[in-house]
Structure 1
Amino acid sequence: MSTVALAVTDGMLHFELSLAYEIFGSAPDGVTGPWYDVALCGPGAVRAGRFGLEPDHGLDQLPYADTVIVPGWADVDVDPPAELVAAVRAAHEAGARVASLCTGAFVLAAAGLLDGLRATTHWAHTDILAARYPRVTVDPDVLYVDNGRVLTSAGKAAAMDLCLHLVRLDHGSSVANITARRMVVPPHRDGGQAQFVTTPVPAPANHPLAELLPWVLQRLDQPLTVEDLARQARMSSRNLGRHFRAATGTTPLQWLLTQRIRRAQELLEITGDSVDTIAAATGMGTATTLRRHFNRTVGVPPDAYRRTFRSRTGPSLDDVDGRRP
């Protein structure tokens, strides 16, 4: 079982702390097998917002965890507590994966874990982070940054995106999707997506893309183009691109590619079909094309991904949800 330690101290933001505990604290219904063993680690009784907490362990237990989560903390105008910084640094040196949520990035930066790396935090504090820690490349325009053993997220909802990303890395996309459904949030937002959009997204019934997106997801096996999407949405390609950027933070083609890769991940996990078959089912055309995009996006080839996340022979593609995608 993988151990997740939540590093807590006075002044922690209770929202980020609570969502991390909710995601890692118990397996969602329908997920079998080992889940995370979560521990609250702090210097003693602490306060997170208006709530008092009694940690399970001291900060000296962080180096024994597989993953250390540093929630955001409220006062970025002062240096984070030295004992917290030292404990997080020690955990990283011991081999733990360390992730910060929101302004928890200030703790990682103070520990030197972000030197020479790209990182992010809540957009309202990126200038402060960049000025205080010039050796960190601060990106204000992304949801989260994955540097392998060191990860950072923007604020609030982006913290949930990063936690789900960790679940996806550890258990695969199917389990991450189940976890997201329990949380009633989108199953995946890419870390490179913008932190915020310049105009509000309309209510679903009035959203220009409300009917288009489900239509596309039902046709991922087809060679769709931007023109096809624009025609279905009854708007120009340029207007379509503008609505996509406002709603998703990316272009129609990049969004479509992301959905194809996500579907390929699911099929690799739950079916025994060949890469050629999955390439056709996800609109990639050939196994060569799927392997190129999959490797670039996920970081490993499809076959390696399947070996990691598939523990038994799954159903054929025709058996998934009773139909082909």
Structure 2
Amino acid sequence: MLRTVAAVVIDGVAPFEFGVICEVFGIDRTGDGVPAIDFRVCGEEAGRPVRTSVGASLTPDRGLDGLADADLVAVPALHIRDEYPPRVVEAVKAAHRRGSTLLSVCSGAFLLAAAGLLDDRRCTTHWHHAAEFAERFPDVKLDPDVLFVDEGDIITSAGTAAGIDACLHLVRREFGAAVTATIARRMVVAPQRDGGQRQFVELPAPPRQADSLQPLLAWLQDRLDREHTVTSLAERANMSERTFARRFAAETGTTPHRWLTTQRVLRARQLLEETGLTVEDVAHRSGFGTAALLRHHFTAVVGVPPKDYRRSFAHR
């Protein structure tokens, strides 16, 4: 069970990626039903400020001793360098030997690779650094075309927002769909982006517009059991259908129909885990209408039929 999370910070840490880890694991959401997590920010020395990649400083409360009994050691994006602080590298390696799960966001994978922890493993990092990573670490099986890679005891993610995907994936792996949905709703993000519960998710197209469709997406997630068309959604967004389709693809990396299908599968998965509803009822509540349509889309995204999934993952 995930009870203790230690985020490692050194000079050159990236504030956004560090903030993602803090947002998912460091905020007390026990009032919303999220299990309590002992969150620690650890540096080489407790109380010694480290410089971030944007010139500001942050001060860790704990030293490297905070990694000793952590269930998860998270390494945010860091300034890429030829060598990393030896004490930090050894502390991360020691935590892994003791059984800690490791999570890296973006260029944090460079530290794990420099420690030899990714040799002969599949991993990912930001596409911009992929060529340099592959050249420096030829024994690592780099996959630059995915949002994150889950190798069980080590999870690596691509750049920036992909860290959110990886963190929420780990939450779901440890705590289930309901807790993940609670955290995602508070963050105003989808609990899982398009691609389903595979070890990798296809990268979406990067956003190209300043105006966000996030309020509409949040509205849709509360109404997945209703019928929606591109026409009705474009009207709600006060756009032409053509502009809406273009904007939707830019912000989500997929079409409205495919996005809705994926979110409905996620809702069905949650209902299968947490309720005793029949598959037919799950189909209606998740917006598929019929059990046959649910089975078709659920199997395509998750990889197994709804009944098989329930046997493996239903809460007892």
Give 1:68 deviation, angstroms: 1.0
Give 1:179 deviation, angstroms: 1.4
Percent of aligned pairs with the same residue?
37
Partner amino acid for 2:271?
L
Give 1:263 deviation, angstroms: 0.9
Q: Could you tell me how far apart the structure 2 residues matched to 1:78 and 1:195 are?
A: 31
- SS of 2:179's partner is helix
Partner amino acid for 1:142?
V
1:58 maps to 64
1:84 maps to 88
2:201 maps to 192
- SS of 2:120's partner is coil
User: Residues 120 and 152 of structure 1 are in contact (CA less than 8 Å); yes or no, is this contact kept in structure 2?
Assistant: yes
- SS of 1:188's partner is coil
- SS of 1:145's partner is strand
Alignment match of 1:285 (pick from 287, 291, 294): 291
Please tell me whether residue 72 in structure 1 is matched to residue 69 in structure 2: no
1:322 maps to none
User: Residues 224 and 260 of structure 2 are in contact (CA less than 8 Å); yes or no, is this contact kept in structure 1?
Assistant: no
Give 1:97 deviation, angstroms: 1.2
2:29 maps to 28
Please tell me whether residue 305 in structure 1 is matched to residue 310 in structure 2: no
Partner amino acid for 2:62?
D
Alignment match of 1:100 (pick from 100, 104, 119): 104
Give 1:73 deviation, angstroms: 1.0
In structure 2, relative to structure 1, the CA distance for the partners of 1:269 and 1:221 (3 Å cut) is farther
Q: Which moved more, 1:157-166 or 1:249-258?
A: 249-258
- SS of 1:127's partner is helix
Give 1:235 deviation, angstroms: 6.2
In structure 2, relative to structure 1, the CA distance for the partners of 1:37 and 1:211 (3 Å cut) is closer
**Per-residue CA distance 1:7-54 (angstroms, 9 max, x = gap):** 222332233223312321233264236321112233212404121413
2:44 maps to 43
Alignment match of 1:112 (pick from 109, 112, 116): 116
Gaps of 5+ in 1: 312-325
User: Residues 9 and 43 of structure 1 are in contact (CA less than 8 Å); yes or no, is this contact kept in structure 2?
Assistant: yes
In structure 2, relative to structure 1, the CA distance for the partners of 1:270 and 1:53 (3 Å cut) is same
1:321 maps to none
In structure 2, relative to structure 1, the CA distance for the partners of 1:33 and 1:232 (3 Å cut) is closer
User: Residues 75 and 103 of structure 2 are in contact (CA less than 8 Å); yes or no, is this contact kept in structure 1?
Assistant: yes
Please tell me whether residue 4 in structure 1 is matched to residue 5 in structure 2: yes
Alignment match of 2:275 (pick from 256, 271, 274): 271
Please tell me whether residue 137 in structure 1 is matched to residue 141 in structure 2: yes
In structure 2, relative to structure 1, the CA distance for the partners of 1:115 and 1:175 (3 Å cut) is same
Q: Could you tell me how far apart the structure 2 residues matched to 1:219 and 1:23 are?
A: 25
In structure 2, relative to structure 1, the CA distance for the partners of 1:134 and 1:244 (3 Å cut) is farther
Taking structure 1 as the reference length, the TM-score comes to 0.74
Give 1:203 deviation, angstroms: 2.6
In structure 2, relative to structure 1, the CA distance for the partners of 1:273 and 1:159 (3 Å cut) is same
User: Residues 299 and 305 of structure 2 are in contact (CA less than 8 Å); yes or no, is this contact kept in structure 1?
Assistant: no
Give 1:274 deviation, angstroms: 2.3
Q: Could you tell me how far apart the structure 1 residues matched to 2:29 and 2:244 are?
A: 37
Q: Could you tell me how far apart the structure 1 residues matched to 2:217 and 2:167 are?
A: 28
Q: Could you tell me how far apart the structure 2 residues matched to 1:298 and 1:211 are?
A: 30
- SS of 2:117's partner is coil
Give 1:255 deviation, angstroms: 2.9
- SS of 1:301's partner is helix
Give 1:264 deviation, angstroms: 0.8
Partner amino acid for 2:250?
A
In structure 2, relative to structure 1, the CA distance for the partners of 1:141 and 1:220 (3 Å cut) is farther
Q: Could you tell me how far apart the structure 1 residues matched to 2:295 and 2:305 are?
A: 15
In structure 2, relative to structure 1, the CA distance for the partners of 1:214 and 1:182 (3 Å cut) is closer
Partner amino acid for 1:23?
V
2:197 maps to none
Give 1:129 deviation, angstroms: 1.0
